[in-house]
Amino acid sequence: MKLGIRNIGQIATGDLEKPLAEADTIVCDAGRITGIGVPKGALDACEVVIDANGATAAPGLIDSHVHITFGDFTPRQNVVGYLSSYVHGGVTTSISASEVHVPGRPHDRGGLKALALAARACFEGYRPGGMRVHAGSVILDPTLELSDLAELAAAGIWLAKAGFGAFDDAFDYAPYVKAAREAGMITTVHTGGSSIPGSGAISGDHILALDPHVSFHVNGGPTAMPDADFKRLATESEVALQICTAGNLRTALLCLEQARKADALHRLLIATDTPTGSGVMPLGLLYTMSHLSALGGLAPELAIACATGNNARVYGLDAGVLKEDRLADVILLDAPDGGTQRTALNAIRHGDIAAIGAVISNGVPRFVGRSRNTPATCREIRVERCDIPASFD
């Protein structure tokens, strides 16, 4: 499909270094962005044209902390269709935070490997609501052999999670995290107090010793680590600092403050850590973006980058940035109807969640006009022309 978007009011690129772009058109073809700021005549060749009517374009949001299981179902909250609902919150990519919520999850060596491999395989060709799901995060446990990690990596597993294994001491994860890194995996570690039976408290001392790629829910999942640890992680490591909606808001703002002081905003990630006991949160990323902007003073375009391009860079994804030849995951944001602001960025800065008027993933519109979860947009966003037998309302 060749898709064009015109009358864009502003573009939030998702790139922390160049977070805004002045252009009013985007063209996508075969699932990739082929032009930004193209001449109006370039839209004539598009099969579908969307009129943004002055709304703001941004990359599809990337939630780097989703507890998927199998299919579009969460047994933790007994909810079907939650991933499709997250698409209506602007999320076009989800990354597994490990399949720890599978009922009766295995702890033996073979079962741990099988769980990761099965989860990855289930989502290879399955896109709930059009969302891309990166599943299969092996749970590091002492029943695994270190050689298993290279074996899993060769089979396509590229995520490894520490914090839910049966280790007596969290420092004992160190050789497993190291082996996973050496195998080419992205390594993540539960941070803060224990969340569910099977997890344990992990502090800044542990994170510094383990040296993962990502400190999961660094602001607490839901319980936060000691305040002094935030400065240490910002200044004494290169670990990505993942702030989650289902965490402690006060320490989220503390983490933001320390990251700015340490010139480490490129390591700040926004995620949700759902579904968990905190529930299903389709608008979680939008809320955390507005909290960090309105309460923490983070420019809204930078908050968007923390939920898109920063996640993409840390996890090595092709999405997350509006740029030619990147994956065509685009959302159209606007100020919510009835609010005091007139643009999406000002609404986020004001503390409102942005309204979503369209979600495009892999170059295909998933809906155009109105999200079923956010407030209505101020502007009418519509399909102006459609030359194929499809409806995107």
- The CATH number assigned to the domain holding 251 equals 3.20.20.140
Average pLDDT over the chain, rounded to an integer: 96
Compute the C-alpha angle 308/311/315, nearest 5°.
140
Query: Rounded CA gap, 335 and 114, in Å?
Result: 45
| Of the residues 282, 310, 340, the one at which a domain ends | 282
C-alpha 275 chain-centroid distance: 13
- Cα torsion through 275, 277, 280, 285, rounded to 10: -70
Residue 90: pLDDT above 80?
yes
β-pair partners for 10: 56
Q: Are both 97 and 188 inside the same structural domain?
A: yes
Tell me what the mean pLDDT of segment 222-233 comes to: 96
β-pair partners for 20: 12
Residue 373: pLDDT above 70?
yes
Which of residues 38 and 300 earns the better pLDDT score?
300
Q: Backbone phi, then psi, for 49, in 5-degree steps?
A: -125, 130
Q: Backbone phi, then psi, for 145, in 5-degree steps?
A: -90, 145
Q: Are both 27 and 66 inside the same structural domain?
A: no
Q: Backbone phi, then psi, for 20, in 5-degree steps?
A: -125, 145
The pLDDT of residue 96 is 98
The answer to the question of residue 189 being in a domain is yes
The pLDDT of residue 198 is 62
Digit-coded pLDDT (tens) for 34-68: 999 988 788 999 999 999 999 999 999 999 999 99
Tell me what the mean pLDDT of segment 14-33 comes to: 97
Number of domains in the chain: 2
The pLDDT of residue 193 is 84
The answer to the question of residue 45 being in a domain is yes
Return the percentage of the chain with pLDDT > 70, whole number.
98
Q: Are both 167 and 36 inside the same structural domain?
A: no
If we measure between CA atoms, which residue out of 306, 258, 387, 349 comes closest to residue 62? 306
The answer to the question of residue 289 being in a domain is no
Q: Are both 52 and 92 inside the same structural domain?
A: no
Return the percentage of the chain with pLDDT > 90, whole number.
94
Query: Rounded CA gap, 252 and 129, in Å?
Result: 30
Tell me what the mean pLDDT of segment 212-220 comes to: 97
Digit-coded pLDDT (tens) for 165-211: 999 899 999 999 999 999 999 999 999 987 666 666 899 999 999 99
Q: Are both 140 and 77 inside the same structural domain?
A: yes
**Collapsing DSSP states into helix, strand and coil, what is residue 332?**
strand
Whether this prediction's pTM lies above 0.75 is answered by: yes
Range of the domain at 234: 61-282
The answer to the question of residue 126 being in a domain is yes
The answer to the question of residue 142 being in a domain is yes
In one letter, which amino acid is 306? C
Tell me what the mean pLDDT of segment 66-93 comes to: 97
Q: Are both 38 and 118 inside the same structural domain?
A: no
Digit-coded pLDDT (tens) for 234-281: 999 999 999 999 999 999 999 999 999 999 999 999 999 999 999 999
The pLDDT of residue 194 is 74
CB 20 within 8 A of CB 12: yes
The answer to the question of residue 287 being in a domain is no
Q: Are both 159 and 50 inside the same structural domain?
A: no
Q: Are both 33 and 145 inside the same structural domain?
A: no
Q: Are both 218 and 123 inside the same structural domain?
A: yes
